[in-house]
Chains A and B, each alone.
Chain A
Amino acid sequence: MARPDSDPVLKALNITKSFGALQVLHGVSLEINSGKTVSILGPSGSGKSTLLRCINWLERPNSGEIYLDGEPVGRHPNGELMSDRELAAIRARMGKVFQSFNLWPHFTVLENVIEAPVQVLGVPKAQAIEQAEQLLQKVGLQDKRDVYPYSLSGGQKQRVAIARALAMSPRVMLFDEPTSALDPELVGEVLAVMRDLTREGMTMLVVTHEMAFARDVSDEVIFMDQGEIVEQTTPDRFFSNPETRRAQQFLARYQ
């Protein structure tokens, strides 16, 4: 069902999350419209990863609502928890890229990329391979299709992980510090792929410490601190004229 472009692809409403006595998210809300890239910045421990994990229910929020294309994620409108199967079906429409790549080591690069399309979506294998080859070309790794992940560099692993997520044709891509585990000289190749995705109109939510990326590529910046959104504005305004003291202090450390 086609939706008007003005409806957000992803919407989170008042998400709260605690681990035992520690409250990590204090009612976080955000929206991303189709084709937009939103960067989430904030000091470590501010709840960025937890927020991303709540969005596709790798972590169950204590309260709040999440919608993908207007459909609830994790809970039915009557409050009932979704089954494993229902949750899987909705997660299949969100791509996620992890800080530590999380490739499946027993599969080759190509097998990593075709696994979910074939097993989850039921795409015929030949067609999945053709699509995977295009994606590997896009991330510059077509010559690595038959090697196992252990033989790749961090930057190459992360590009495979991006191709793997893209193979599901997701509505939105969630990135959790995709370059934080990389040697400095490998960061650029991953950011380049992400820039291409933005340009092609992918909808992206990116947790990052790459200030240049956030400034140049995103349509919106969200600054989180201590489990809440402190500022939510355009990159220009955030970087040239942060409103809160917390954001100013944060930026001072990165510039």
Chain B
Amino acid sequence: MTADGFQMLLEGAWITVWISLLAIALGVPLGLLFSLIRVSRLPVLSQIITLYVSVGRATPLITLVLFLFVALPAIGLDIDKYTASVLTLTLNTASFNTEIWRSTYLSFPKSQIEAAQAMGMTRGLYFRRIMLPQMFYTALPALLNEMTFLIKASPAIAVVGIVDLTRVTNRIASQTYEPLPPIIIAGVIYMLSIGSLVRLQRVLEDRRKRYASA
């Protein structure tokens, strides 16, 4: 493989990484927000979120990104392929994260909430001080799991013309007629990305061990 090919691979890797990270950074808090709307049972809004979650989880990424890329301009909203891609991955991962946050919220020990109420804490205060810090650690394994799925599913965005890590290996292969080296390198880069998430999980789990015996 040429130095040129290598350069292309790194560029593709960079695109995969920043688009995925941006979608994760938006999708995790968005999922939390949506889950709170759902558990609050706010009329209409909560039903909209329920619908969004079932549609979001059922729609393939390719379908979603094509839809956004084609449909939004049709109603007069200009959208470039990068925005469409980030939006697609964010909407997809947020729908899964909504369910993760929701079940974490619902399984939070009532006894701790009652203690907080009995001490005179308002709902917002005990959510922020008592629930969220613990919910974060409880949700973490599932959230990180979802992040690895997102990264592995991200090649779907190539369909709107994004040259991500997977797409770039095809390009190099079609130029060099040697598909194996770029595929192997790309595989290693995916593994490293996901490996660093797993590592992050371990570091954060260790922090939680400060206060949990197991």
Please report A residues at the B interface, Cβ cutoff 8 Å: 56, 58, 84-85, 88-96, 98, 100, 102-108, 115-116, 119-121, 148-151, 161, 164-165, 168
Contacts and interface: CB of A to CB of B under 8 A. Distances in A.
Contacts of B211: 105-108, 148-150
Contacts of A104: 112, 115-116, 130
Contact of B114 (A98, A115, A164, A168): A98
27 contacts: A58-B117, A84-B122, A84-B123, A88-B125, A90-B120, A91-B118, A91-B120, A92-B120, A96-B115, A96-B118, A100-B111, A104-B130, A105-B112, A105-B211, A105-B212, A106-B133, A115-B119, A115-B129, A119-B125, A119-B129, A120-B121, A150-B211, A150-B213, A161-B115, A164-B119, A165-B118, A168-B119
A104 B109 CA distance: 10
Contact of A148 (B115, B116, B117, B210): B210
A151 B111 CA distance: 19
Nearest to A83: B122
A58 B111 CA distance: 11
Interface residues of B, number: 21
A116 B120 contact: yes
A85 B126 CA distance: 12
Contacts of A165: 118-119
A92 B119 contact: yes
B120 A120 contact: yes
Given A91-B120, A120-B125, A168-B120, 10 more contacts: A58-B114, A84-B122, A88-B121, A91-B118, A108-B211, A116-B121, A119-B121, A121-B120, A149-B211, A150-B213
Contacts of A89: 120
B134 interface: yes
A151 B118 contact: no
A85 B133 contact: no
A74 to B, nearest CB: 12
Nearest to B115: A102
A151 B213 contact: yes
A121 B114 CA distance: 18
A100 B110 CA distance: 12
B9 to A, nearest CB: 43
Contact of B112 (A102, A116, A119, A164): A102
Given A120-B125, A148-B210, A148-B211, A105 B134 contact: yes
A174 to B, nearest CB: 8
Nearest to A89: B120
Nearest to B214: A150
B157 to A, nearest CB: 38
Contacts of A148: 210-211
A88 B120 contact: yes
B115 A98 contact: yes
